[in-house]
Chain A
Amino acid sequence: MTDAEFRDAFQRHKHVVHRFVYRMTGSGSIAEDIVQECFLAFWRKPEAYDANRGGQQAYLLGIARKMVLKRWRKEHPQEPLDEMQIVQPPLDATGIGRAQAVERAILALPSLQREPVILAEYEEMSLEEIARATESELAAVKSRLHRARQNLRRMLAPLLESRGVCNGTK
């Protein structure tokens, strides 16, 4: 990979990788560290990227995702990544802004539910693209997305019921 190719890839994908990692971890400093390591991994081993298996963005998101999950497993060795039975209670949003309530709700999701909802909702990726980025079966992505949506609706019910969703405070 030439220097120009790497710079081009960095400029094109740095924001999407950063947004994804930030929403997965809720931390600006961790997000920047992982973005850095993600692109360095790409630079050190460019031959690992196979254009036939999907776009560069999905590949980089896949690297970032592995780093996020590795970090999460290190910090929470006993907790499963995807609690099938988990039912999140409604969020107590008193005293916090709507944006902060959304942040708390998304960070409360199990990791494997959080990633498809972030990629679908914020990055507008298709189910197939999400499946490629997360190296998951399409059916698994659909199922996780469905459970994530149910959990989010339950957690954010007070905000969804109180009024229309537009023009909320942040």
Chain B
Amino acid sequence: MEPNDPQLRDLLREWETPALTGDLEQRVMARRRDWASFLLHGSIRVPLPVIYCLLAALIFAGWRVSARESQSRPCVAQAVSNECSHAVSSAC
């Protein structure tokens, strides 16, 4: 407020705020350790090298799974072509 307006300033100062309730501090301190709240709003720092390792592990695991699936897939080539049945069945 402008310093040359003391009348208005004095009038405005007549409006006072109520005091804070005593349990606010307890509520704030308790919420800080609230795991449910952390699960919703929390964040953690993860170094980039750790993320790279996790990504590499994930890609490797995906590759292993797909490789295993292709090995255990039943041989259906026999039904498709009679001409190469001998070669395919020997391969199977």
Instruction: Give chain B interface residues in 1-20, CB to chain A under 8 Å.
Output: 1-2, 5, 7-18, 20
In which size bucket is the chain B interface? Answer: 20 to 34
Counting residue pairs across A and B whose Cβ atoms lie within 8 Å, the total is 83
Interface residue stretch chosen among A52-60, A75-83, A159-167: A159-167
A23 vs B18: C-alpha distance in the bound complex, in angstroms?
Answer: 10
Question: When chains A and B are docked, how far (Å) is the Cα of A109 from the Cα of B18?
Answer: 21
Cβ contacts under 8 Å, A120 to chain B: 1
Q: Is the CB of B11 within 8 A of A39?
A: no
Instruction: Select from chain B the residue with minimum beta-carbon distance to A118.
Output: B12
- Considering only residues 1-58 of chain A, those with a C-beta below 8 Å from chain B are 6-7, 10, 14-15, 18-19, 22-23, 28, 32, 35-36, 39-40, 43-45
Query: Interface digits, B34-45 against A, CB 8 Å rule (1 contact, 0 not)?
Result: 000100011100
Partner of B17, one of A23, A40, A152: A23
Q: Which of B2, B14, B32, B37 contacts A102 (CB 8 A)?
A: B14
Shortest CB-to-CB span from B44 to chain A, Å, is 11
With beta carbons under 8 angstroms apart, the residue of A32, A39, A152, A166 that contacts B12 is: A152
A156-B31 Cα distance, complex, nearest whole Å: 42
Q: What separation, in Å, do the CA atoms of A21 and B27 have in the docked complex?
A: 18
Contacts of A39 in B (CB 8 A): 28
Known: A23-B17, A106-B12, A149-B2. A160 touches B7 (CB 8 A): yes
Q: Is B70 an interface residue (CB 8 A)?
A: no
Shortest Cβ distance from residue B33 to the other chain A in the assembled complex, whole angstroms = 10
Give bound CA distance, A168 to B28, whole Å.
37
Interface residues of A (CB under 8 A from B): 6-7, 10, 14-15, 18-19, 22-23, 28, 32, 35-36, 39-40, 43-45, 98-100, 102-103, 106, 117, 120-122, 145, 149, 152-153, 156, 159-160, 164-166, 168, 170
11 intermolecular pairs with C-beta atoms under 8 Å apart: A7-B29, A32-B20, A40-B31, A44-B42, A44-B43, A102-B14, A102-B15, A106-B15, A145-B1, A159-B11, A165-B10
